[in-house]
């Protein structure tokens, strides 16, 4: 069994130990020590990284009460003395996020009677799953406020070791089922939890907690949160972006939402105006397309792609072209096809049927007009061939 140095001192970043065993497995070296300050992945907290005698430790796992250090090259053989170095920044982040999770879980329990069912403490943000399928925004706001009060109060975070028989003496958030010696993390007088993780020394080291989103999952709510150095970084990034936007819009930060609303309304108005103008110009556009007419089986027809046109006007334009040439018009945009017929012997919906069955388009219509949609970009050349064959076979 490895003596876990982080149990009593989460600030310890350098330590001496001796190798108990060294094994090669699947191209990796597995080193066990008599004592280690490396945290192995467990309880929702990720492993530490660092070095053993200068060799990079790429993963740390738990196996039968032992801490196992994984590396690409050998650290040393059994009996060799080693010096371990823990990656400071990664460790501190894990301490911040784990304490932030305890504080948030306590706030959910205390304010709304919600139990934390599982936790995940990631590289960028943390996640706790609470036992309710609905948590309101005001509940989240209250939880965040209490969590930040606990942080501001700079409460000491203590590590206690007790026997399981003493558990009833402590107001634990969740009573563990394990027996024997139990490690407790105590935050001031507000939060007690059985936990093997690494924590900050006092709540002020968590800096701040910010709930960023929630997701409903398996009848529960997963709450994603930022804290510590990552929350401060995030604040600085967001501030920079918002300041940039306010400069572009030449307005105060607080006026950004109303300014964007105003722009959206203007854009909508302009788009309406543009559609109106395009509609008025449709006859001119139609006569340009009419010049492309070809003859097959004594029927005039046009097959052509259309750009720079509101999609809603494609059918109107197609009808005008067919009328202009007293024949058939097939106009396409990127993923839409309009078909129009101004001659009795050709039914637009029959052409639509052929294109649907042979090229996989979806849609339909009537004698005079039909419309089809495509999932991929429409190939005008292929459509021209199909229309040619159709007119030939009339
Ligand atoms: Zn914990």
* 379 within some domain: yes
Cα gap 309→283, rounded to integer Å: 13
Last residue of a domain, one of 86, 106, 137: 86
CA of 206 to the centre of ligand 1 (A): 14
The pair of structure tokens assigned to 84 is 């371990």
pLDDT at position 334: 87
Greater confidence (309 vs 205) lies with 205
Question: What's the mean pLDDT in 15-20?
Answer: 97
Asked if residue 100 and residue 217 are part of one domain, the reply reads yes
CA of 367 to the centre of ligand 1 (A): 71
The answer, yes or no, to whether residue 375 has pLDDT greater than 90, is no
Asked if residue 220 and residue 351 are part of one domain, the reply reads no
Binning pLDDT at 50, 70 and 90, where does residue 178 land?
A: confident
Average pLDDT in the chain: 95
* 257 within some domain: no
pLDDT at position 8: 96
CA of 315 to the centre of ligand 1 (A): 63
CA of 184 to the centre of ligand 1 (A): 9
Give the chain's largest Cα–Cα span.
100
* 376 within some domain: yes
CA of 138 to the centre of ligand 1 (A): 26
Q: What is the pLDDT of residues 279-291, one digit of tens each?
A: 999 999 999 999 9
Cα gap 49→37, rounded to integer Å: 11
b/e code 10-45 from CB counts within 10 Å (16+ = b): beebebebebeebeeeeeebbbbbeebbbbbeeebb
Asked if residue 188 and residue 63 are part of one domain, the reply reads no
Asked if residue 72 and residue 105 are part of one domain, the reply reads no
Last residue of a domain, one of 191, 212, 232: 232
Please give all residues whose CB falls under 5 A of ion ligand 1, grouped by chain where several chains appear.
195, 197
pLDDT at position 319: 96
Question: What's the mean pLDDT in 255-274?
Answer: 94
* 270 within some domain: no
* 36 within some domain: yes
Asked if residue 304 and residue 175 are part of one domain, the reply reads no
Asked if residue 308 and residue 217 are part of one domain, the reply reads no
Which residue, chain included where needed, has tokens 């990284």?
Answer: 49
CA of 287 to the centre of ligand 1 (A): 75
pLDDT at position 103: 98
Asked if residue 63 and residue 129 are part of one domain, the reply reads no
* 106 within some domain: yes
Binning pLDDT at 50, 70 and 90, where does residue 390 land?
A: very high
Length of the chain: 394
Cα gap 318→295, rounded to integer Å: 17
Asked if residue 188 and residue 111 are part of one domain, the reply reads yes
Q: Which helix (H) or strand (E) holds 246?
A: helix 228-248
Half-sphere exposure of residue 27: CA atoms within 13 angstroms, side-chain side: 1
* 258 within some domain: no
Asked if residue 135 and residue 63 are part of one domain, the reply reads no
Question: What's the mean pLDDT in 251-256?
Answer: 93
CA of 12 to the centre of ligand 1 (A): 19
* 259 within some domain: no
Share of the chain above pLDDT 90, in %: 90
Binning pLDDT at 50, 70 and 90, where does residue 264 land?
A: very high
The answer, yes or no, to whether residue 335 has pLDDT greater than 90, is no
CATH of the domain at 116: 3.30.980.10
pLDDT at position 328: 96
Q: Which are the contacts of 218, defined by CB distance < 8 A and separation ≥ 6? A: none
Asked if residue 308 and residue 386 are part of one domain, the reply reads yes
b/e code 213-246 from CB counts within 10 Å (16+ = b): ebeeeeebbbbbbbbbebbeebeeeeeeeeeeeb
CATH of the domain at 383: 3.10.310.30
The pair of structure tokens assigned to 391 is 């007119």
Q: Please give the residue range of the domain that contains residue 336.
A: 282-392
The answer, yes or no, to whether residue 136 has pLDDT greater than 90, is yes
Phi first, then psi, for residue 386 (nearest 5°) are -65, -40
Asked if residue 204 and residue 326 are part of one domain, the reply reads no
CA of 255 to the centre of ligand 1 (A): 42
From residue 357, give the alpha-carbon distance in Å to each of 302, 335, 353: 21, 16, 6
Asked if residue 111 and residue 210 are part of one domain, the reply reads yes
Kindly compute the dihedral angle of the four CA atoms of residues 217, 200, 158, 42, in this order, to the nearest 10 degrees.
50
Q: Which are the contacts of 335, defined by CB distance < 8 A and separation ≥ 6? A: 373, 374, 375, 376, 377, 378
Q: Which are the contacts of 313, defined by CB distance < 8 A and separation ≥ 6? A: 275, 278, 279, 282
Binning pLDDT at 50, 70 and 90, where does residue 377 land?
A: confident
CATH of the domain at 82: 2.40.30.130
Q: Which are the contacts of 66, defined by CB distance < 8 A and separation ≥ 6? A: 1, 2, 20, 32
State how many domains the chain has.
3
Last residue of a domain, one of 213, 232, 251: 232
């Amino acid at each position: 069994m490895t003596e876990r140095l982080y149990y009593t001192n989460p600030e310890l970043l350098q330590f001496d130990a001796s190798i108990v065993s060294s094994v090669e497995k699947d191209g990796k070296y597995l080193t066990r020590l008599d004592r280690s300050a490396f945290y192995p992945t467990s309880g929702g907290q990720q492993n530490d990284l660092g070095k053993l005698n200068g060799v990079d430790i790429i993963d740390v796992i738990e196996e039968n009460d032992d801490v196992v250090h994984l590396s690409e090259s050998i650290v040393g053989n059994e009996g060799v003395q080693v010096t371990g170095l823990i990656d400071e920044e990664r460790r501190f982040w894990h301490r911040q996020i784990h304490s932030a999770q305890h504080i948030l879980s306590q706030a959910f329990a205390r304010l709304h009677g919600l139990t934390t069912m599982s936790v995940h403490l990631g590289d960028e943000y943390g996640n706790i799953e609470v036992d309710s399928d609905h948590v309101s925004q005001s509940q989240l706001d209250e939880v965040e406020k209490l969590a930040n009060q606990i942080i501001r109060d700079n409460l000491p975070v203590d590590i206690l070791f007790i026997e399981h028989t003493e558990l009833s003496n402590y107001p634990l958030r969740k009573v563990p089922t394990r027996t024997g010696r139990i490690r407790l993390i105590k935050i001031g007088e507000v939060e007690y939890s059985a936990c093997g993780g690494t924590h900050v020394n006092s709540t002020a080291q968590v800096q701040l907690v910010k709930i960023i989103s929630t997701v409903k999952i398996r009848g529960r709510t997963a709450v994603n949160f930022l804290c510590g150095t990552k929350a401060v970084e995030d604040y600085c990034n967001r501030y920079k972006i918002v300041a940039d936007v306010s400069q572009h819009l030449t307005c105060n930060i607080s006026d950004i939402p109303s300014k964007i609303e105003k722009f959206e309304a203007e854009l909508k108005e302009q788009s309406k105006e543009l559609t109106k103008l395009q509609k008025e110009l449709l006859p001119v556009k139609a006569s340009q397309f009419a010049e492309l007419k070809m003859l097959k089986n004594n029927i005039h027809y046009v097959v052509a792609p259309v750009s720079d046109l509101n999609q809603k006007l494609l059918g109107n334009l197609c009808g005008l072209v067919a009328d202009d040439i007293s024949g058939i018009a097939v106009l396409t945009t990127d993923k839409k096809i309009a078909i129009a017929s101004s001659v009795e012997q050709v039914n637009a919906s029959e052409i639509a049927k052929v294109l649907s069955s042979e090229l996989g388009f979806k849609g339909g219509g009537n004698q005079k007009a039909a419309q089809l949609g495509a999932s991929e970009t429409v190939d005008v050349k292929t459509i021209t061939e199909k229309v040619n064959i159709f007119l030939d076979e009339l």
